[in-house]
Amino acid sequence: MQPFLFSAKNRFFPKHQIPFRALGVLFFSLAVCLVLYLIAVKVITYFHSQNELGIILSLKIFQMAWITMFAMLVFSCMVSSVSTLFLSQDNEIIFAAPVAKSEIFFMRYITTSIYTSWMMIVFSLPIFAAYGTVFEAGILYWPLMLGTIISTAGIATTFGMGLTVVLVNLFPAKRTKDIILYLSICFGIFIYLIFRLMRPEDLVNPDKYGHFIDYLSSLATPAAPYIPAAWAANLLSYYLLDREIDLLVAALLIITPITLFFLGEWAMERWFLAGFTKSQESFGGYRKFFSRGRYRRSSMQWTFLKESKLFLRDSAEWSQLFMIAALVIVYLYNFKVLPVERSLFEEEYVTNLISFLNIGLTGFVVASLAARFVYPSIGAEGGSFYIIMSSPLSTARYILHKYLFYVIPFTLLALILLVVSNRLLNIEGPMWWISVITGLIITWTVLAMALGFGAIYADFKAENRAAALGGIGAILFLFTAISFEMAIIFLGGSPVFRVMRGWLRHGVLPADDLLTLIVWILVSIGISLFLALFFIRRGIRKLEASST
């Protein structure tokens, strides 16, 4: 445990310094918790105030939240325990030392539990606490809730770790990690689609009751009795409604994590060494690929090939495409179900306004995805970056190749989001062109900014691309990109409104309004070019000045 404790101490409480980082994390988490708590209280109060159906529904959502939390914990624990148990860098030192396997299991259990469950616990606490507040559950609810959360998290992590020890015996460690990763991503998408496409908020809309009569009849049925998360949900629901504790369920929640822990320890004794041996034999890359055709001299072509191969051969990267697909479906679906016909204003005005604001929304999606994929792409070169820097390829050209590589998929994505949502909103005429042109200007600029910030704050030691997201550079990039988008949208508000008013009323484009629109577009292009070149240049200077 010592390495974990010491490195955590050094990270959060550096010697002779005020622990700003620790305090920052603490305050940020508290602020997020508070916001979550307030939102949850508002939503549950709304459900609660409807009628008895609302109460049943809110408790059903309570159960779903527990089961979701439990499943996510099991998946994330399995992914990280493959790493902590089998692929950790300190494994060779620890396993070569005369330490019992049960001790190793205990050590890895504690660290994996902390890594995987702290966030889930911190963010689920305010939601479950909100139930206590709305149901006026009394003082005993709080320790009961805390104990139940810890117990459920304990069950999830011990179950996940035990299962991992067994699974790694059947598959090589890296393959197991991939399999669990796919499963957890599919599960995440499933939950996301269910929540968005079923629109649970409609269930308390009196107009819709008739359509959900079958669903409502199923609401009263209790959750699956064999899932530990359902025990926790039932125990707390029972207490919330009747102020009584089901002792059988409480006993199950106490005994199960302890039993599972000992089972995990036993599995470790029994199967660990075989699995660890296998994880070293299977070095993951024993796959044969065939070269495509002949070598060509173009460094741009090869940068494209390199980037796409590195992306497509890394399951942690390409599997994100599923998430993006789900995001696009839900994004466009929302336009389809938008109740514009119920608006107080003329439908055409509203759809055009939405189409205009959609430029910003698309820009926001582009900025988030650029933060995930484009921003870390320079740091992702890792230790191999010396190859680029010591070659005759200039840094500017290298950045240009990267830019051109990412500009194609991002342009396609922005076009899909803009054109399809315009189609769903029946947008034609000048608004269509305004949205597409401005959307593309924003997309191309945001990409350049992502690369610029990525170069300025390149972290060549980051373990993977996702890890770079938490850094200061990514946050600054997102902040700058969104400010830029808002500025463009804000500046365009008046000229676009005037042009559209003329077009919708009389079907003509007044010359002076058209001129202001063109001026706005030209100013937008000017700002975009300035920002793109400014950040790219700073990035190039930083890369050339820094050591690798």
Partner 1 sequence: MVVLMDELNNTQGKTLPVQSDTELVLVIEHLTKKFGNFTAVDNISLHVKRGEIYGFLGPNGAGKTTTIKMIAGLLQPDKGQISINNRSLAGEPRKCKQDTGYIPDRPYLFEKLTGFEFLEFIASLYNLAPETFSRNTEHYLKLFDLENWKHHLIESYSHGMRQKLIISSILMLEPPLIVVDEPMVGLDPKSARIVKELFKNHASRGTSIFLSTHSLEIASELCDRIGIILNGSLRASGNLKDLQREARLEHSDLEEIFLELTGAYELQDIIAALRAE
Smallest separation, CB 403 to partner 1 (Å):
17
Minimum CB distance to partner 1 smaller for 277 or for 391: 391
By CB under 8 A, which span of 95-103, 242-250, 302-310, 363-371 interacts with partner 1?
Answer: 302-310
Residue 136, exposed/middle/buried by CB under 10 A (0-12, 13-18, 19+)? exposed
By CB under 8 A, which span of 10-18, 21-29, 258-266, 388-396 interacts with partner 1?
Answer: 388-396
- Binding flag, residue 383, partner 1 (CB under 8 A): yes
Nearest CA to 178 among 188, 169, 168? 168
Q: Which of 10, 49, 51, 384 binds partner 1 (CB under 8 A)?
A: 384
Task: Give one DSSP letter per residue of 442-464, joined into a string.
Answer: HHHHHHHHHHHHHHHT--TT-SS
- Binding flag, residue 548, partner 1 (CB under 8 A): yes
Cβ atoms of 535 and 378 within 8 Å: the answer is no
- Binding flag, residue 301, partner 1 (CB under 8 A): yes
Minimum CB distance to partner 1 smaller for 381 or for 513: 381
Binding mask 247-286 for partner 1 (x = CB under 8 A): ------------------------------------xxxx
Minimum CB distance to partner 1 smaller for 311 or for 497: 311
Residues 6+ apart with CB under 8 A from 288: none
Residues 6+ apart with CB under 8 A from 74: 156, 159, 160, 163
- Binding flag, residue 393, partner 1 (CB under 8 A): yes
Paired tokens of 16? 């002779």
Distance of alpha carbon 197 from alpha carbon 184, whole angstroms: 20
Smallest separation, CB 456 to partner 1 (Å):
17
Nearest CA to 199 among 341, 70, 340, 333? 333
By CB under 8 A, which span of 124-132, 233-241, 367-375, 386-394 interacts with partner 1?
Answer: 386-394
Residues 6+ apart with CB under 8 A from 170: 176
Question: Token match 């890296």: residue?
Answer: 174
- Binding flag, residue 464, partner 1 (CB under 8 A): no
* Residue 288: CB atoms within 10 Å: 4
Distance of alpha carbon 242 from alpha carbon 232, whole angstroms: 15
Please work out the total of residues on this chain that contact partner 1, with binding judged by CB under 8 A. Answer: 39
- Binding flag, residue 396, partner 1 (CB under 8 A): no
- Binding flag, residue 290, partner 1 (CB under 8 A): yes
Minimum CB distance to partner 1 smaller for 294 or for 342: 294
Distance of alpha carbon 387 from alpha carbon 379, whole angstroms: 13
Minimum CB distance to partner 1 smaller for 366 or for 399: 399
Smallest separation, CB 88 to partner 1 (Å):
17
The string over 96-125, giving b where at least 16 C-beta atoms fall within 10 Å of a residue's C-beta and e elsewhere, is: eeeeeeeebbbbbbebbbebbbeebbeebb
- Binding flag, residue 87, partner 1 (CB under 8 A): no
Residues 6+ apart with CB under 8 A from 442: 359, 362, 363, 366, 414, 484, 485, 488, 528
Binding mask 164-203 for partner 1 (x = CB under 8 A): ----------------------------------------
Nearest CA to 126 among 42, 41, 193? 41
Smallest separation, CB 323 to partner 1 (Å):
20
Distance of alpha carbon 402 from alpha carbon 412, whole angstroms: 16
Minimum CB distance to partner 1 smaller for 236 or for 543: 543
- Binding flag, residue 209, partner 1 (CB under 8 A): no
- Binding flag, residue 291, partner 1 (CB under 8 A): yes
Smallest separation, CB 374 to partner 1 (Å):
18
- Binding flag, residue 461, partner 1 (CB under 8 A): no
Q: Which of 389, 436, 509, 529 binds partner 1 (CB under 8 A)?
A: 389
Question: Which residues contribute to the site for partner 1 (CB under 8 A)?
Answer: 283-291, 294-299, 301-302, 305-306, 309-310, 313-314, 382-384, 386-394, 544-545, 547-548
